[in-house]
Amino acid sequence: MNVNDLAKLNGLRLSGFIFPGQVLKLTSSPTSGTPSTNQNLVPDTFLGYTYPAHVVAAANDNKALLNSLPVPSGTQMRQIVRATASQMGVDPSLAMAVAMQESGFNHRAVSPANAIGTMQVIPSSGEWASQLVGRKLNLIDPNDNVVAGVAILRSLLRSADSVDQAIAGYYQGLASVRANGMFADTRSYVANIKALQNQFR
């Protein structure tokens, strides 16, 4: 089993940590609902939350599709993220930190929430990003996926009260951050992003 699959199966981020005594799953149990030939590609839980069967089924289908397609290497994805952020007026170090945290520049990454690709954009956010840029974006496409993520970041940076709040909004949702404050995992996410930015400046 490779590190990416182990992390996904256990709801871990590639840049996160494991600890002595922590139990890791090496196989996943089938998701509830209608059986699918793709059902074991993506786990159904993340950070203790179990996602609805239809969301996990869609995530597994997208994972199967991405597995069947040629995708850019991690190095190529880094170049795409940097260039796209520059073109769209977003600090490339921020966009690259988000991509690193979300997927490790692995465009085949799909989460149990059906967050897709390098920038880990869920379909509803992809629709919003399409409206922001004025054209239909295909989250499976590496370039469109990055455009979607960067467009969302740009919008959050314009709307949020601070850069930290914008980063938190990418993870938790800006409305939730404003209503509830940053959850503990969101605060960790923001700290990780800011630390990762230093690698890409």
Whether residue 10 has pLDDT greater than 80: no
Whether residue 17 has pLDDT greater than 70: no
Taking residues 103-118, report their average pLDDT. 97
Instruction: Report the pLDDT value the prediction gives residue 33, as an integer from 0 to 100.
Output: 43
Whether residue 31 has pLDDT greater than 80: no
Average pLDDT in the chain: 90
Instruction: Report the pLDDT value the prediction gives residue 186, as an integer from 0 to 100.
Output: 96
Question: What b/e string do you get for 121-141 counting C-beta neighbours within 10 Å, with b at 16 or more?
Answer: bbeebbebbbebeeeebebbe
pLDDT in tens, 166-201: 999 999 999 999 999 999 999 999 999 999 999 999
Whether residue 154 has pLDDT greater than 80: yes
Catalytic machinery residues? 102
Question: What b/e string do you get for 54-77 counting C-beta neighbours within 10 Å, with b at 16 or more?
Answer: ebbbbbbbbbbebeeeebbeeeeb
Taking residues 19-24, report their average pLDDT. 67
Q: Which residue matches tokens 């969302």?
A: 152
pLDDT in tens, 63-96: 999 999 999 999 999 999 999 999 999 999 999 9
Q: What is the pTM of this model?
A: 0.80
Read off the pLDDT band of 2 (50, 70, 90).
confident
CB count in 10 Å sphere of residue 196: 18
Read off the pLDDT band of 21 (50, 70, 90).
low
